[in-house]
Amino acid sequence: MNATWSRFNITSIVLGFAFLYLPIVLLVIFSFNESKLVTVWGGFSTRWYGELFRNQGLMDAAWVTIRVGLISATVATVLGTLAALALTRYTRFRGRVLFSGMVFAPLVMPEVITGLSLLLLFVAIGLDRGFLTVILAHITFSMCFVAVVVQSRLMTFDRSLEEAAMDLGAPPVKTFFQITLPVIMPAVVSGWMLAFTLSIDDLVISSFTSGPGATTLPMKIYSQVRLGVTPEINAACTLMIAVVALGVIAASLVNKRREVQRLRDEQAAQRG
Amino acid sequence: MAETAVSSPSAVAAAQPASASGSLLNAITSRLVIMVPYLWLLFFFLIPFIIVFKISLSQTAIAMPPYVPVLGVGEGISGFLAQLRELGIDNYVWLTEDPLYFNAYVSSVVIAAISTFLALLVGFPVAYGMARAPASIRPTLLMLVILPFWTSFLIRVYAWIGILKPEGLLNQVLLATGIIDQPLVIMNTHAAIFIGIVYSYLPFMILPLYSTLEKMDFSLIEAAQDLGCTPTGAFWKVTFPLALPGVVAGCMLVFIPAVGEFVIPDLLGGSQTLMIGKTLWNEFFANRDWPVSSAVAVILLLLLVVPIMIFQSAQARAQEQGR
């Protein structure tokens, strides 16, 4: 192991991870700074968190963001899972090339283009910009990410299970809900989480597609950041990081427990 | 799109020992599985581009929506045709006449290319180190690369403002340790944008690199060196060619969104930096010129068509191999 994992490899990993994590760690530390000057340490304090919760504008925006995230992630997960099934199970249908193009292109499409084009669509069909249009926009770009996550799980899926169920007379819909869905569930759940994070994170597409009364948290943060760095924003960012970190840790714990359960079941099956 | 034919699933359904109504139901289900996401993407992804293209040919107007013609069908076919004749390429001519746009496109591509190269330089050693790490800790390392991606993009860019600004943390550290005696000016320069893009998109570079390097047979390098290759020679003759699919995928994942990036140049690049995403944003939000911003978007999309196609064919190939 020492021969292959050289000191150079270890150094580059350590430096790479330091680069990835240091800015976030510094941001979190300075959210507990007493001083109003963000980059000068003035002692430990949680006063900015207090200020944050008294800031009605930010709280409203946070509530909008959470609702948009929950709704759009859920719809995007359903549509993305269907898209993944369509891509992996039906290898030949008319327009498949166009379809896979439309699934992969949004992953790299610059957000300004997606945002502008969706806005122009909403104007063209006479839909007033607001809560609904932000949700529709978020579903559209996040369902493609869900599709990619679920698709990679479906490709390693053992199809003989499904075939067995269908040979025993189960209709495809029942087979899907009783066999396929439980197996791909971890991927569907991480797809949902990815869609939710992308949604609560998005600034550019939301700015184009939202209207009065549907200001999201990133839009609010962005308009304040443009005026300068404030400890209050550091506190808001720290809370968002904490929420996401808790979610990721919880998900990995659930996954691990499921894995342990699965191993135990397999062992029991072998013994029995 | 009603003719979206499903050949294989209906054949499968026909082979099932099910009643005639059952197989009809199966055919409808499999059709729905395809149709629902297909129609959604058609309506919310493809059609909007056609609208963008149409509006890029329109003129600005002081109205709502702020462009003419609206292409309504209220005045019948002849009225519609008359409106169609009002479309023109004036906005594109305008884009070529004002050097601002040309410079913004060029500098976006240059900045994105340099940042992509820097991200490759930073990401490759990390991905390589991860691929050679003991198998037991690889999942943890992978998790650590993905984790920053889960935290807000805006927050990660914002974090750099506090570090890079003249009285920021980097200058404080460098001044205190006596490495420099004048604060470095990094904020509001191209250097800040490079740092911002490399930082934000690094996981996108590392992940595809890692997944190709992990599959690599490292005894090939030993073989090359046994046969007299220098370590550098072995890298260029063995490692790099084998990692090439990952390099291409990683570079495309960084380059394409970086060309149209708005948040990073806006927050870290200051007012002097010219990038096309920012130009489009200003054209739309500050000048309220929808037709010109649509034309800017169409040209940006044309610039990115080739990289996007490279990315998609790489994706399709990976998908075929995974089968």
The CATH number linked to A206 is 1.10.3720.10
pLDDT value at residue B8: 42
Cβ of B319 within 8 Å of Cβ of A155? The answer is: yes
Question: Comparing A40 with A129, which gets the higher pLDDT?
Answer: A129
Decide if A222 and B153 are in contact by the 8 Å CB cutoff: no
Please name every residue paired with A33 in a beta bridge, in sequence order, or none if there are none.
A44
pLDDT averaged over chain B? 83
Which of A191, A244, A247, A198 shows the shortest CA–CA distance to A77?
A191
Strand, coil or helix: what is A154?
helix
Q: What is the pLDDT of residues A121-172, one digit of tens each?
A: 999 888 888 999 999 999 999 999 999 889 888 887 778 888 888 888 888 7
Whether the bond into B65 is cis, omega within 30 of 0: yes
- Which residue is closest to B259 within chain A, CA to CA? A110
| Confidence at B216, pLDDT banded by 50, 70, 90 | confident
Mean pLDDT of the region B268-285: 88
Query: How many residue pairs from chains A and B have C-beta atoms closer than 8 A?
Result: 279
Position A44 in a domain? no
Give chain A positions within 8 Å (CB) of B122.
16, 19
pLDDT on residue B59? 81
Tell me, yes or no, whether A41 lies in a domain.
no
B94–chain A Cβ distance below 8 A for any pair:
no
Task: State which residues form the domain around A212.
Answer: 60-228
Number of domains forming the structure of chain A:
2
Clarify whether residues A266 and A216 are in a common domain: no
Is A212 among the domain residues?
yes
Separation CA B293–CA A148 (nearest Å): 31
CB-nearest to A171 from B22, B41, B126 is B22
Instruction: Return d(Cα A248, Cα A243) in angstroms, integer.
Output: 9
Q: Which of A228, A243, A259 is the last residue of a domain?
A: A228
* CB-nearest partner of A225 from B37, B252, B267: B267
> Is there a single domain that holds both residue A120 and residue A216?
yes
Residue numbers in A near B143 (CB within 8 A) = 252
Across the interface, whether the CB atoms of B206 and A101 are under 8 A apart is answered no
Domain coordinates in residue numbering, chain B: 7-85, 90-322
Contact A121, B48 (CB under 8 A): yes
Pair A191, A67 in one domain: yes
Nearest beta carbon to residue B147 from set A15, A102, A248: A248
To the question of domain B90-322 being in CATH 1.10.3720.10, the answer is yes
Question: Do residue A150 and residue A240 come from a single domain?
Answer: no
Q: Which of A19, A20, A113 sits opposite B260 (nearest CB)?
A: A113
Contact B162 A118 (CB under 8 A): no
Nearest CA in chain A to B70: A124
Are A114 and A197 members of one domain? yes
pLDDT over 60 at B9, yes or no: no
Average pLDDT over residues B228-244: 87
CA distance B188 to chain A (A): 13
Of all residues in chain A, the one with the smallest CA distance to B301 is A113
Distance from CA of A272 to the nearest CA of B (A): 30
Q: What is the pLDDT of residue B105?
A: 93
- Which residue in the set B152, B156, B280 is minimally distant from A218, CB to CB? B152
B169 touches chain A (CB under 8 A): yes
CA–CA separation, A123 vs A129, rounded Å?
Answer: 8
A81: in domain: yes
Q: Nearest CA of chain A to the CA of B97: how many Å? A: 22
Asked if residue B4 has pLDDT above 50, the reply is no
Three-state secondary structure readout of chain B: CCCCCEHHHHHHHHHCCCCHHHHHHHHHHHHHHHHHHHHHHHHHHHHHHHHHHHHHCCEECCCCCCEECCCCCCCHHHHHHHHHHCCCCHHHHHHHHCHHHHHHHHHHHHHHHHHHHHHHHHHHHHHHHHHHCCCCCHHHHHHHHHHHHHCCHHHHHHHHHHHHCCCCHHHHHHHHCCCCCCCCCCCCCHHHHHHHHHHHHHHHHHHHHHHHHHCCCCHHHHHHHHCCCCHHHHHHHHHHHHHHHHHHHHHHHHHHHHHCCCHHHHHHCCCCCCCHHHHHHHHHHCCCCHHHHHHHHHHHHHHHHHHHHHHHHHHHHHHHHHC
Query: What's the rounded mean pLDDT across residues A12-33?
Result: 89
Closest CA to B65 of A8, A241, A150, A123: A123
Residue at A123 is within a domain:
yes
CB contact under 8 A, A140 and B150: no
Where does the pLDDT of residue B10 fall: very low under 50, low under 70, confident under 90, or very high at 90 and above?
Answer: very low
